Amino acid sequence: MKLTRRLALAAPLCLAGLSGRAATPVPSGLSALAIRSANILSFHADGSRLFEFRAAFGRESGAKRVRDDARTPIGDYTLLPARRSARWRWFLPIDYPNESDIARGRAAGLSRGQLGDEIGVHGFGDWPPIDLAAGHGVGWNWTAGCISVTYAELEVIRTLVHRPIPIRIAP
């Protein structure tokens, strides 16, 4: 997590809401930007960057085409509020496949089911090499197509995202 003056000021506000999400202020104009080539997931409000995290992406490069291709989708999506996850503690779904993905799939002769689903932002899980790599800032892409951050960063993100927000995923 890149510590900036803005992060130092905003983090206590976000973390204060861990027990009561309604008390956490939500910046207006909140959006997210994921850049696979830089291994970055950032959150912005009103044109200013609030948070920037190192992130892992899908194992394979290029835009997601079909289920189980280990690629992260590329394009404009919606990031939804967190839900509990037995595997990742929390999971923030991304609306993949969206309408343009479905249309592109249809044009290629693919059904919606063949495109895949369950893409989102989650934690690293219990595999120590992943935690070790993340702790050392290694941009090791290992997911099946999701975006992964540390559990501490996931706590900040889940308290920040109370309603659907736009997320752009860039190559």
Phi-psi region of 137 (alpha: psi -120 to 50; beta: other; left: phi over 0): left
pLDDT of residue 88: 84
Residue found by looking up tokens 């935690």 in the block: 131
Domains assigned to the chain: 5-170 (2.40.440.10)
Q: What pTM, to 2 d.p., does this model score?
A: 0.80
Per-residue HEC secondary structure of the chain comes to CCCCHHHHHHHHHHHHHHCCHHHCCCCCCCEEEEEHHHCEEEEEECCEEEEEEECECECCCCCCCCCCCCCCCCEEEEECCCEEECCCEEEEEECCCCHHHHHHHHHCCCCHHHHCCCCEEECCCCCHHHHHHHHCCCCCCCECCCEECCHHHHHHHHHHCCCCEEEEEEC
pLDDT at 30: 96
> pLDDT value at position 131?
53
Q: How many degrees, rounded to 5, is the angle at CA 130 between CA 58 and CA 101?
A: 15
Residue 116 dihedral angles phi and psi, to the nearest 5°: 100, 175
Q: What is the pLDDT along the chain (171 residues), one digit of tens a residue?
A: 444 434 443 444 444 444 444 445 667 799 999 999 999 999 999 889 999 999 999 989 889 999 999 999 999 999 999 999 988 889 999 999 999 999 999 999 999 999 999 999 999 865 545 555 555 555 578 889 999 998 899 999 999 999 999 999 999
Report the pLDDT value the prediction gives residue 74, as an integer from 0 to 100: 96
Q: How many CB atoms lie within 10 A of CB 99?
A: 8
Check residue 140 and give its pLDDT: 76
- Residue 89 Ramachandran class (φ > 0 left, ψ -120 to 50 alpha, else beta): left
